[in-house]
Structure 1
Amino acid sequence: MAENKNISENIEEYLEVLYRNGSNGEQVSTTTLSKDLGIAPGSVTQMLKKLEDLGYIKYTPYKGAVLTHEGMKIAQKITRKHRILEKFLLDVLKVKEENVHEQACEMEHTLSDEAERALCTMLRHPDLCPDNHIIPACNFDFGSCQECFSQKDFDQIMNRKFNLLSVSELTSSTEGTVSFIRGSSELLDEITDLNIKVGSHLTYEYNDNRIGNYYLVTIDDEELNISLEMANNIFIRI
């Protein structure tokens, strides 16, 4: 069954900012956190020590913090809810664009996993929020959105035990196993036609492998150019 852990809103905000600035394992400085959160550096340092004690980050004094596996899981979850809510508020409820971010911030902490899943289905598995930032993958244990859609009973859904990043989120040379493909059956068919599937081994060489809106990746020893849309929706286990 999908889990329901109670994490304070303050902790979620910190982890969300850490994820926004360091989703691929980058170290985020105290100065960056202080600026983004509008909180004094001394207070940020105290919270970072607390987050490290909780096992959510690895903190190095005078350098910054990196999300742990558990911290990344929470950060992706709250970031996903925020960005899906932004999409819903703007596209469906027609809330003014300048008000969308603040209202999503207020709603993200109380949106249930079940409601998040329903919003995702209604919005047809969106990959980008209104600011064109990637919406992280859900943490449900499915290989595709079609598998999710076929499971009608939410209480039977299990959580994934590992974290994912889309190809387009990678900011360093990375390799991993394709573990989730998001999107419509049409997009899934296009990806399958390239012989990319759940279980494929993917390698991405950062800097050298971005050509315009295409990404050069190696899938099971075969080099392929994939579109930005595919890169947004192919997720590897990290």
Structure 2
Amino acid sequence: MAEGKISENIEEYLEVLYRNGSNGEQVSTTQLSKDLGIAPGSVTQMLKKLEDLGYISYTPYKGATLTEEGMKIARKITRKHRILEKFLLDILKVKEENIHEQACEMEHTLSDEAERAICTMLHHPDLCPDDNVIPACDFEFNSCQDCFSQKDFDQVMNRKFNLLSISELTGNTEGTISFIRGNSELLDEITDAGIKVGQHLKYEFNENRVGNHYLVVIDDEELNIPTDMANNIFIRV
């Protein structure tokens, strides 16, 4: 596995892989070529390099999936991109048609400390302007309230595992609730629903999506979770 700063080119590849396969789905070379605007032969060469670095698992003629390490990097850069889009649109009032390109330019240099500050300023947003879920931060907190309580960034630790929100799940999944995002009002609503960090959650993709709700089983109890909650309840899978 490579050490030190990761190149912007690698981050772009991992970001596209995350966008198309955040729950472990295999992403084809054709899809990557289309999204990146790069010839399939060049994509294949990069996929081989990414596999050598330990960021993906690659099967010729089929595609690639992110490893745990690749997922961690991809989730982090995707989060920075989407939260920057929100910042550019809502705070700086940049034209919506320009925010994607500008976020692409800024995401690679945005520090973790600045990302955290922007998240707090925006009151812990769950969706970017395109209504895609903003991934969870990788700080070692159980909730945004815990994050807000820690004023000294030098004391903030990084989480060692990857998370997905309920609304990001694309297959039958089980895992442990490990982070709950949101302002104090949303956190209270989730707590009042009997949901807390440490509980076991089970989700069946094909059967349990009902309109704007997700039917899940939490510690053997069935619960109907509305989308605004599902975007902000993250599980370790």
Smaller-chain TM-score bracket: over 0.9
Show the 5 A alignment for 1:167-186: 167-186=166-185
Equivalent residue number for residue 55 of structure 1: 54
Equivalent residue number for residue 222 of structure 1: 221
Equivalent residue number for residue 36 of structure 1: 35
Show the 5 A alignment for 1:69-88: 69-88=68-87
Matched, 1:153 2:152: yes
- Per-residue deviation at 1:35? 0.4
Q: Deviations over 1:117-141 (max 9, x none)?
A: 0000000000000000000000000
- What SS does the aligned partner of 1:171 have? coil
Q: Deviations over 1:21-80 (max 9, x none)?
A: 000000000000000000000000000000000000000000000000000000000000
* Displaced runs of 4 or more, over 2 A: none
Letter in 1 for 2:123: R
Show the 5 A alignment for 1:8-19: 8-19=7-18
Letter in 1 for 2:154: D
Equivalent residue number for residue 100 of structure 1: 99
| TM-score, with length taken from structure 2 | 0.98
Report sequence identity in percent.
Answer: 84
- Per-residue deviation at 1:194? 1.6
Letter in 1 for 2:88: L
Equivalent residue number for residue 20 of structure 2: 21
Q: Deviations over 1:72-111 (max 9, x none)?
A: 0000000000000000000110000100100000000000
- What SS does the aligned partner of 1:168 have? helix
Equivalent residue number for residue 121 of structure 1: 120
Show the 5 A alignment for 1:128-167: 128-167=127-166
- Per-residue deviation at 1:5? 4.9
Letter in 2 for 1:47: M
Distance 1:5 1:147 in 2: 29
Distance 1:93 1:187 in 2: 26
- Per-residue deviation at 1:188? 1.1
- Per-residue deviation at 1:16? 0.1
Q: Deviations over 1:170-189 (max 9, x none)?
A: 00010100000000111111
Matched, 1:6 2:11: no
- What SS does the aligned partner of 2:99 have? helix
5+ residue gaps, structure 1, are: none
| TM-score, with length taken from structure 1 | 0.98
